[in-house]
A and B are shown apart, each in its own frame.
Chain A
């Protein structure tokens, strides 16, 4: 469902992705591991279409469509979701209003009817309960004053609400204690489905103990350097990233 071929991408003048190739299959959970600075977050931003992340070569095909030709919001409407490492705090916008606006914008773009306030409230409440996102959080300004765990739970709530076909989870474990991590992982696992692919990006194997991937890819220095099954996470934990991805002299 997603095919990345020989992707080169710059942030400013600096080339971060240097010929990355990756295929994600429908209904599978793929994990990308890699050291700091290997290009993991850049990949997630390129997939979401963030400004300032320029693709200089290569291609990304999403369900047969040229992903790079789509605007950020069009990608969301086509059910690509990025759970961010650092969800942004937006004062003056209540969480509930944001969820309603976003969901209806996506539906509008797909030519679907918009939800009214009441049905959306019911929908959000039902999904929020599972993730222990309470009413009070929904009334607060988006992410403002939320703890790390609350922010990540709200990201997963959005994922549950938007029903993406491809969910990219960027360092979802960062800043979480073990209890918060378990709760978030449960939320993610509940959303695993044969129609939904996931790309879990993480530095540590810890998250992959709770969200067990089908495939693991190792990213270093802007390209994929290793690939394997779920056991690869533990091997990497034991050996470290070591010499992986060192540019040959």
Chain B
């Protein structure tokens, strides 16, 4: 009993020490170039941010839940808690400073059809984790509230056993005065699948960092996302997918619309480890810039140690296609509406990857609501 508790305490002490030594990430950290967190936030503010809130209004039958604020964590929690991924400094901070969070377990062989709605609210550090056991499958819908305050720093562990499948849809609203950081560490076993969609509407600084290890043959990760920014919004999605086993597959499709003085960042690093033959990775990031002062930084990166692999990546940033705009206007569609149609079409491709109809509609609803902000300073 006390061993389990002290196990987590030990992990927390280790995280605290690690955060203290490394400090806040800043522009000279690898992959923090476009999101200089240290310039706007200091370590003391992170340490004193408290703990953000989580709630699951209706836990579907068959899913086990454990409140991380409680003592005596079961073994399945301890096994995953803060143990996945490369533990960057802000993840250490969420481990060190959060007094709670939630852990979910989907037992082997169980299919949970109904999405698990995990709401995140308030400011502070927070941890959550999900363990999907062998052959089980579930969907987590994670809407974030806009009541962030200064900082929300969420650390997530996802452990997928053989043949497991998790769909993860995360929605982050426009929070212009806040700093929002999240780190999602995912371990994908053989033939398991992680599908995720990130809908970002911008913060003063927003950083979504993913570290995904495809650790067994046939493991798959499919990431997509839309970022719609206006004013001086910022949203940074940085992913690192490691193909650590053969015949693994990853796809990424990120679409950004940036207006005003906003900044959209996508950095996608793919590592194919030695021996991970037959791996296939595809990565697409596109940005539409709606104003001259908006900025998009798209940076694909490939590091390949295996021979027989397929890696494809593409990144483009620019304005709407003038030919398409002219075509629509020549059919009587006013310029503003024509632009809107083309932007919708651009974003739709990424939103369509959400297979659940209700969740897709929910995300699309937010996209529609955010677009006027992004188009405000459009020509």
A residues near B (Cβ < 8 Å) are 48-52, 71-73, 75-77, 82, 84, 87-88, 90-93, 98, 101-103, 105-106, 109, 158, 162
Residues of B within 8 A of A75 (CB): 330
Q: Which of A48, A88, A109 is in CB contact (< 8 Å) with B324?
A: A88
Question: Are B349 and A102 in contact (CB-based, < 8 A)?
Answer: no
Rounded to whole Å, the gap between the CB of B343 and the closest CB of chain A is 10
Interface presence of B70 (CB below 8 A): no
Instruction: Give chain B interface residues in 288-329, CB to chain A under 8 Å.
Output: 321-324, 326-329
Taking CB as reference atom, which chain B residue is nearest A45?
Answer: B326
Residue of A nearest to B334 (CB): A73
**Most chain A beta carbons < 10 A, residue from B321, B328, B346, B348:** B328
Q: Is there an interface contact between B324 and A76, defined as CB atoms closer than 8 Å?
A: no
Q: Which residue of B lies closest to A158 (CB)?
A: B331
Q: Please, could you name 15 A-B residue pairs with CB atoms under 8 Å apart, sorted by A?
A: A49-B330, A51-B322, A71-B335, A72-B329, A73-B329, A73-B334, A73-B335, A76-B331, A77-B332, A87-B327, A88-B324, A92-B344, A93-B342, A105-B333, A105-B334
Q: Are B332 and A90 in contact (CB under 8 A)?
A: no
Given contacts A73-B333, A73-B334, A93-B341, contact A102 B346 (CB under 8 A): no
Closest 8 CB pairs of A and B: A92-B345, A76-B332, A106-B332, A102-B331, A72-B329, A88-B327, A105-B332, A73-B329
What residues of B have a CB within 8 angstroms of the CB of A158 in the complex?
331
Please name all residues of chain A whose beta carbon is closer than 8 Å to the beta carbon of B344 when the two chains form the complex: 92
Q: Is the interface of B mostly helix, strand, loop or mixed?
A: helix
- Chain B min CB distance to A220 (Å): 26
Contact of B349 with A90 in the complex, beta carbons under 8 Å: no
Q: Does B337 contact A (CB under 8 A)?
A: yes
Interface of chain B residues 212 through 250 with chain A (CB within 8 A):
none
Complex Cα gap A207–B331 (Å): 24
Closest to B346 in A: A92
Contact B345–A48 (Cβ < 8 Å): no
Q: Is B335's CB under 8 angstroms from A90's CB?
A: no
User: Which partner residue on chain B sits nearest A101 by CB separation?
Assistant: B333
Known contacts: A93-B341, A101-B341. The answer to whether A88 contacts B323 by CB under 8 A is yes
A52 to B341, CA, bound (A): 22
**Chain B: residues with CB nearer than 8 A to chain A?**
321-324, 326-335, 337-338, 341-342, 344-346, 348-349
A49 vs B342: C-alpha distance when bound (angstroms): 20
CA A91 to CA B320, docked complex, whole Å: 13
Q: Are A91 and B327 also in contact (CB < 8 A) when A101-B341, A102-B333 are? A: no
Known: A72-B330, A92-B344, A158-B331. A105 touches B337 (CB 8 A): yes
Cβ-closest chain A residue relative to B342: A90
Interface centre among A72, A77, A90 (most CB of B within 10 A): A72
A106 to B324, CA, bound (A): 18
A162 proximity list for chain B (CB < 8 A) = 331-332
Known: A50-B326, A75-B330, A91-B345. 18 other contacts (CB 8 A): A48-B330, A71-B329, A72-B329, A72-B330, A73-B332, A76-B329, A76-B330, A84-B330, A87-B327, A88-B323, A88-B324, A90-B327, A93-B341, A98-B328, A101-B333, A102-B328, A102-B331, A102-B333
On chain A, the residues within 8 Å of B333 by CB distance are 73, 101-102, 105
Q: Closest Cβ of chain B: how far from A81's Cβ, in Å?
A: 8
Q: How far is the CA of A75 from the CA of B326 in the complex (A)?
A: 12
In the assembly, what is the distance between CA of A91 and CA of B321, in Å?
12
Complexed CA–CA distance, A72 and B334 (Å): 8
Whether the Cβ atoms of B337 and A101 lie closer than 8 Å is yes
**Which of A49, A73, A109, A158 is the most central at the interface, judged by chain B CB atoms within 10 Å of its CB?**
A73
The interface residues of chain B lying within 8 Å CB-to-CB of A93 are: 341-342, 345
From the candidates B324, B329, B337, name the one contacting A90 in the complex (CB within 8 A): B324
Q: How far apart are the CA atoms of A101 and B335 in the complex, in Å? A: 13
Contact for A92 among B328, B329, B349, CB less than 8 A: B349
Q: How far is the CA of A105 from the CA of B332 in the complex (A)?
A: 6
CA distance in complex: A98, B266 (Å): 32
Q: Is the CB of B331 within 8 A of A51?
A: no
Complex interface: chain A residues within 8 A of B335 (CB): 71-73
Smallest distance from the beta carbon of A160 to chain B beta carbons, Å?
Answer: 13
**Nearest Cβ on chain B to A43's Cβ, whole angstroms:** 14
- Please give, as numbers and ranges, the residues of chain A lying within 8 Å of B342 by CB-CB distance: 90, 93
B345 contacts A90, CB within 8 Å? yes
- Closest chain-A Cβ to B367's Cβ sits at a distance in Å of 13
**Minimum CB–CB distance for A100 against chain B, Å:** 11
- Are the C-beta atoms of A92 and B348 separated by less than 8 Å? yes
Contacts of A92 in B (CB 8 A): 344-346, 348-349
Q: How far is the CA of A75 from the CA of B349 in the complex (A)?
A: 32
Bound state CA distance, A73 and B326, in angstroms? 9
Report the bound CA distance from A88 to B338 in whole Å. Answer: 14
B50 smallest CB distance to A (angstroms): 43
